[in-house]
Structure 1
Amino acid sequence: METEKAPSSLPGLGLKILSTGWAGCAMGTIMFGMRIYVNAVMARKWDAALWFALATYFACLAATVVMALSVKNGLGDHMSDLEAWSPDSIREALRYRWYASGVCIISLGLAKLSIINYLITVQGDTLKAKPIRKWFMYFLAYSNLLLCIGMTPVLWTQCKPTNKLWDVSIKGQCSGRRRYQIYAYFWSSYEGALDMVLSLYPITIFWNLKLPTHIKIGLVLLFATGIL
């Protein structure tokens, strides 16, 4: 005889997930608004870096909205609570969670494109003397984008049918989980290495400028925070 599970007395994490997501979204909106102001009013220039940043902003906004839908359906709550109140919520929460993962992967690829195009713009004509740097930066940008795009089919083909990802009761198989795990390890390692490179690369730009040493150190430390 199956016994009814009592709801958990522990607090859920749904509110923390929403708070973190929307707080980050609000900060991003403010910072991007400042970026638009600089480009539109001060620089009067709409470069590729800005458009990639705009695409990244909307992708992150979409991911936050989808994650909110997942929280609405129970993400962050305890399994015993979901099973006691609405068993279907587990499936819906996981479904939206997988959707959010797909959008986040694409947003990471777009974000790196924006950062690298900005670094290329900052260097300007100096890259003409060292074109290898420019091609190296483009290689990093588009290799990362291709990896992010390639991650999408690997993500959604783990199980057949696909909705078995969030509904284990459906008949099917998930033979692609190991493939996804291996690809995810490689992809996340590449992302981490690329973050390291993009954080340290500006040192080669600012250190050769005719600026006081303390300003150079400040700029280097500012960009190096990306390692964290």
Structure 2
Amino acid sequence: MGTQSVPLSKNPQGILIEALLWTLIILAGICLGLRISCKFLRRRRLWWDDYFIIFAWIMLLTSCVMTTTNVGLGFGMHFVDVPVENLLTMGLVANISGFTSVLGVAFSKTSFAITLLRLTDGWLKWFVWFIIITLNLTQHASAVFFWVSCDPPAKTWNPTLEGTCWPPKIMLILPWVIGGWSAFCDFALALLPWRLLFRFHMFRTEKVGIAIAMSMGVFAGITCIVKLTTIPPSSDHDFTYNSMQLVIWGFAEVACTIIATCIPTMRALFVHRTSTSQLPSLQLNADNGAVAFSSNRPPPILDHERRDNMSDRSILGLAEASGSSSLGSTSPKTGAMLNEKSQSNRNQRVIMYEMKSLGSEER
């Protein structure tokens, strides 16, 4: 059966849907383009977080195209005004749109979590891994639900077929459970940078700037919560009209996540452009005279680093100051311990550099 095109003049709500969705996709695309440009301008290679965010934007674009197609079929109009011959196609296209939108949620949030993996260690790293695994399990399950919630699967977009579907109560509870966990992950990932920055010796304004830039994901969590409140009841018989807010807020969640994930890298580009010098500058700790490197490049590893453990601990806040000792009189066992501590300090300097530059060069 063929479909009948519905002019936008008869679908004013469809005009609003298209305007909002394409505005969001363009904004997200601009931010993504600036992120990638920043990497190339700073001669950095794309890393896994970049590939995940690119794939998320592609999923968002696919969802936008599918929704635009449905608007042309009558999505946004009251159910009774939609041409009957368009309903089956609209249902199938809606499944594809929802499927790709949910994948966009999963991959965009995974991208930011992967970035945090390089800035964390210990239990924080394990916590980020826990978020990545559980978030992807729940979101990918949610994406599959579009196709397996009925038997046969074709009944998910063609209710006239004989078969069975999951109880409406389950279909209402699952989005809340999955969406609630997604929102929690957004807030948790947004707060982690603040916890990490307490370990670094930087100017307060620099700390706040980086933390705010890396905490924009909180807006994705807010849009996720708002989206959950727009889920229409399963008994809604005017879903072609009442689902508009759900589609828009679901789309906004992915777009906000992409934009929030790109902001830290764009901030690094801004700082790089406005920097008056590319040479390392020395930052003095007024409390104990410790010196920290502040630069767009990694701090150099000094030959006397092993005699500067006190400064490293002061800069990075890794441990309380301990008594000084002379390297010249250390035993082999003590020397090995100092070498191990020196390597740990080097690793922490790299983490500090990653937090400040927010680059994505694979290490």
The bucket for the TM-score relative to the shorter chain is 0.7 to 0.9
Quote the Cα distance in structure 1 between the aligned partners of 2:210 and 2:188: 16
Structure 2: unaligned runs, 5 residues or longer: 1-8, 220-363
Larger radius of gyration between Structure 1 and Structure 2:
2
- What residue in structure 1 maps to residue 154 of structure 2? 163
Does residue 1:135 correspond to 2:132, yes or no? no
Shift of 1:164: 2.5
Query: Which residue in the other structure is 2:27 paired with?
Result: 27
Give CA deviations for 1:150-169 in whole Å, capped at 9, x if unaligned.
22333322222223233332
Q: CA deviation at 1:48?
A: 1.1
Residue pair 1:155, 1:180 contacting (<8 A) in 2 also? no
Corresponding position of 1:4: none
The superposition leaves residues 74-131 of structure 1 with CA deviations (integer Å, 9 ceiling, x where unpaired) of 110122321xxx212233223211211111111111111100111233x2xxx4xx42
Matched AA of 2:202: L
Counterpart of 2:341 in structure 1 is: none
Q: Which among 82, 89, 93 is matched to residue 90 of structure 2?
A: 93
Q: Provide the TM-score with structure 1 as the length reference.
A: 0.82
Preserved contact between residue 149 and residue 156 of structure 2 (Cα < 8 Å): yes
The structure where helix makes up a greater share of residues is 1
Instruction: Determine if contact 1:49/1:115 at 8 Å carries over to the other structure.
Output: yes
Structure 1 letter corresponding to 2:101: C
Alpha-carbon displacement from aligned partner over 1:29-51 (angstroms, at most 9, x marks no partner)? 11111111111221422211111
C-alpha contact (below 8 Å) 1:102/1:155 kept by paired residues: yes
Aligned residues: 211
> Which 10-residue stretch deviates more, 193-202 or 9-18?
9-18
Distance 1:14 1:30 in 2: 24
Structure 2 counterpart of 1:196: 187
1:30-45 equivalent positions in 2, closer than 5 A: 30-45=30-45
Could you list the per-position Cα deviations for residues 186-208 of structure 1 after superposition, in whole angstroms to 9, with x for gaps in the alignment?
11110011111112111112344
Matched AA of 1:116? A
Residue range with higher mean Cα deviation, 215-224 or 140-149? 215-224
SS in 1 for 2:165: coil
The reply to whether residue 110 of structure 1 matches residue 101 of structure 2 is no
Does the CA-based 8 Å contact 2:11-2:74 persist in structure 1?
A: no
Aligned 8 A contact 1:157 1:176 in 2: no
Distance, in Å, in 2 between the alignment partners of 1:184 and 1:79 is 23
Question: Would the aligned equivalents of 1:160 and 1:173 in 2 still touch at CA under 8 Å?
Answer: yes
Percent identical: 19
Task: Please say if residues 149 and 166 of structure 2, whose CA atoms lie closer than 8 Å, have aligned partners that are also in contact.
Answer: yes
Normalising by structure 2, what TM-score? 0.53
Distance in 1, Cα, partners of 2:23 & 2:93: 20
- In 2, are the aligned partners of 1:158 and 1:174 still within 8 Å (CA)? yes
- What amino acid is the match of 2:164? Q
Q: Evaluate the alpha carbon distance shift between residue 146 and residue 46 of structure 1 in structure 2; reply closer, same or farther with a 3 A threshold.
A: same
**Alignment partner, residue 72 of structure 2:** 72
Distance 1:52 1:34, change over 3 A: same
> In 1, distance between residues paired with 2:43 and 2:201?
22
Counterpart CA distance in 1 for 2:166 and 2:59 is: 29
Question: 8 Å contact 1:203–1:220 — kept in the other structure?
Answer: yes
**Letter of the structure 1 residue corresponding to residue 54 of structure 2:** L
Residue 110 of structure 2 corresponds to residue 119 of structure 1? no
C-alpha contact (below 8 Å) 2:53/2:111 kept by paired residues? yes
Q: In the alignment, is the contact (CA less than 8 A) between 1:70 and 1:95 conserved in 2?
A: no
Contact 1:159–1:177 (CA<8 Å) still a contact in 2?
no
Question: Is it true that 1:186 corresponds to 2:177 in the alignment?
Answer: yes
